[in-house]
A and B are shown apart, each in its own frame.
Chain A
Amino acid sequence: GAGVSQSPRYKVAKRGQDVALRCDPISGHVSLFWYQQALGQGPEFLTYFQNEAQLDKSGLPSDRFFAERPEGSVSTLKIQRTQQEDSAVYLCASRSRVLPRQETQYFGPGTRLLVL
């Protein structure tokens, strides 16, 4: 594919419901990132994968947030027992090189999550 794709684009969940957000990175990109963007703010880092290994999950706000990338390609961000404060845009980005001089990350369109 030409770019990073994410699904669903929009998700409305009832408080307490579990949700799963999918990211398809650019083909061949080794690194994958998840960010959370609150309304009117810049994106904030959640977690980072290099192939299937989750190397940094320091940005995950609670143990209700879980991410995986089992085959080193598609990634899923799961949020358990959603709360209203989880409402945000969840952005996925991918990057081609493992130890880059060039840190360019390419973003998907995001999933807009609204928890009622």
Chain B
Amino acid sequence: GQQLNQSPQSMFIQEGEDVSMNCTSSSIFNTWLWYKQDPGEGPVLLIALYKAGELTSNGRLTAQFGITRKDSFLNISASIPSDVGIYFCAGTGPYRVQGAQKLVFGQGTRLTINP
């Protein structure tokens, strides 16, 4: 089945540093989504990408949908303490593929920030 490989698995950075994480897939995705999950909560949507090559920003966050439709990255600039959490990439497959409606998730990137 479809799988997403997300890296790095964890990051330990200083406050104010920039962060970069990425996801790759063995198959084509129609949509890439980036979520953040805090302890005891459900995933919260950060950025949604719908077209190959699309570059989208949300405040200090920037994400891109890879041209090959098999990868995406998320950058966080000037990190602050509230950025701590687990970041997940997720995607949906081509509409004609059975099961395309579901989201397939990466394993997550755990971000820790030293003040």
Instruction: Assess whether A42 is in contact with B105, with CB atoms less than 8 Å apart.
Output: yes
Question: Is A109's CB under 8 angstroms from B92's CB?
Answer: no
Chain A residues with CB below 8 A from B99, complex form? 45, 56, 58
User: Known interface pairs A91-B42, A103-B31, A108-B42. Does A33 touch B102 (Cβ–Cβ under 8 Å)?
Assistant: yes
B50 touches A102 (CB 8 A): yes
Structural contact, A48 and B106, CB atoms closer than 8 A:
no
A77-100 contact mask (Cβ, 8 Å, vs B): 1 or 0: 000000000000001010000010
Within 8 A of B (CB), among A60-116: 91, 93, 99, 101-110, 112
Give the most central of A43, A106, A109: most B CB within 10 Å: A43
Contacting A at CB under 8 A, from B70-115, are 88, 90, 92, 95, 98-99, 101-108
| A99 CA to B90 CA, complexed, in Å | 18
Range, interface on chain B: 20 to 34
Q: Are A103 and B92 in contact (CB under 8 A)?
A: yes
Residues of B near A99 (CB, < 8 A) are 95
Q: Are A42 and B108 in contact (CB under 8 A)?
A: yes
* Residue numbers in B under 8 Å from A35 (CB-CB): 103
B21 at the interface (CB under 8 A from A): no
Q: Which of A45, A59, A91, A103 contacts B33 (CB 8 A)?
A: A103
B41 touches A45 (CB 8 A): no
Q: Beyond A43-B103, A110-B41, A110-B42, is A103–B108 a contact (Cβ under 8 Å)?
A: no
CA distance A9 to B92 in the complex (A): 27
Interface: A55 (CB within 8 A): yes
In angstroms, Cα B107 to Cα A24, docked, is 27
Note all chain B residues with C-beta closer than 8 A to A45.
Answer: 99, 102-104
Query: Is A103's CB under 8 angstroms from B30's CB?
Result: yes
The reply to whether B88 and A101 form a contact with Cβ atoms under 8 Å apart is no
State whether A56 and B102 are in contact (beta carbons under 8 Å apart), knowing that A103-B30, A103-B33, A104-B48 are contacts in the complex.
yes
Given A42-B108, A93-B103, 8 more A-B residue pairs with CB atoms under 8 Å apart are A6-B42, A33-B101, A43-B103, A45-B104, A103-B48, A103-B92, A103-B101, A104-B45
| 5 nearest A-B residue pairs (beta carbon) | A42-B105, A107-B42, A45-B102, A103-B31, A103-B92
